[in-house]
Amino acid sequence: MFRLEALRPQQDDRLAFLKGFLRQPKDVGSVIPSSRFLERRMVRMAGVSRADSVIELGPGTGGTTRAILGAMPESATLLAVELDPMFADIVRGFDDRRLIVHQGSAEHLPELIGAHRLRAPKAILSGIPFSTMPVEVGVRIVEAIRDVLAPGGCFVAYQFRSAVADRARPVLGEPEASLELLNIPPMRVYRWRKR
């Protein structure tokens, strides 16, 4: 059983996020974490409450991670993949047996799923900044998502710019798109469903 207090936002999340941005602005992509409205929209659009296996790409300081853990079934597993070692350490501090944190690149999703003996994910959520990474890295990440996502599963990503849609369209097809205005800055939210 996980502890509810482990899911509550910590006072220093925003400061940690800002420090991460100042250290590696290309890897973080924003100066503040996502709003709770954006987090809830992502979780709802991905169908997390019905997923037995979930992957989060770029958990940062863990705001969306908390929302995912709060919504997913007790028997589900969440693999959080974070490139930044400081952010990975923050998320590792969450007291929830369903959570696995991997510090590394999302390009290696097939290997990570195999190494942790996870089921094909029904939901993959991403906040990673596709607009600041090399195009070829973004395409490899999208291809890895396509390769591991369970049939009928959803990939949901948010971005300020359209880079994730630009990288994913040739691989995953046309996304559903919406706008979350209750976030600073407002974010585009994209969803693909695997046939």
How many H-runs (helices) and E-runs (strands) does the chain carry? 8, 7
Does any domain span residue 177?
yes
Does some domain include residue 186?
yes
Report the domain count for the chain.
1
Residue 77 lies in a domain: yes
The domain in which residue 153 lies consists of 29-193
Q: Is there a domain that residue 19 lies in?
A: no
Contacts by residues 10-16 (CB-CB < 8 Å, ≥ 24 positions apart):
10/61, 13/61, 13/62, 13/63, 13/90, 14/61, 16/61, 16/86, 16/87, 16/90
pLDDT at position 62 is: 95
Q: Lowest mean pLDDT: which of 22-31, 67-76, 80-89?
A: 22-31
> What global pTM score does this model have?
0.85
Q: Please, what is the average pLDDT of the chain?
A: 88
Residue 139 domain-assigned (yes or no): yes
- 162 pLDDT higher than 80: yes
Write the CATH number for 37. 3.40.50.150
C-alpha 72, offset from chain centre: 14
**Rounded CA gap, 85 and 72, in Å?**
25
On whether residue 21 sits in a domain, the answer given is no
Please, which pLDDT band fits residue 12 given cuts at 50, 70 and 90? low
How many CA atoms lie less than 13 Å away from 38 in the CB half-sphere? 27
pLDDT at 33: 79
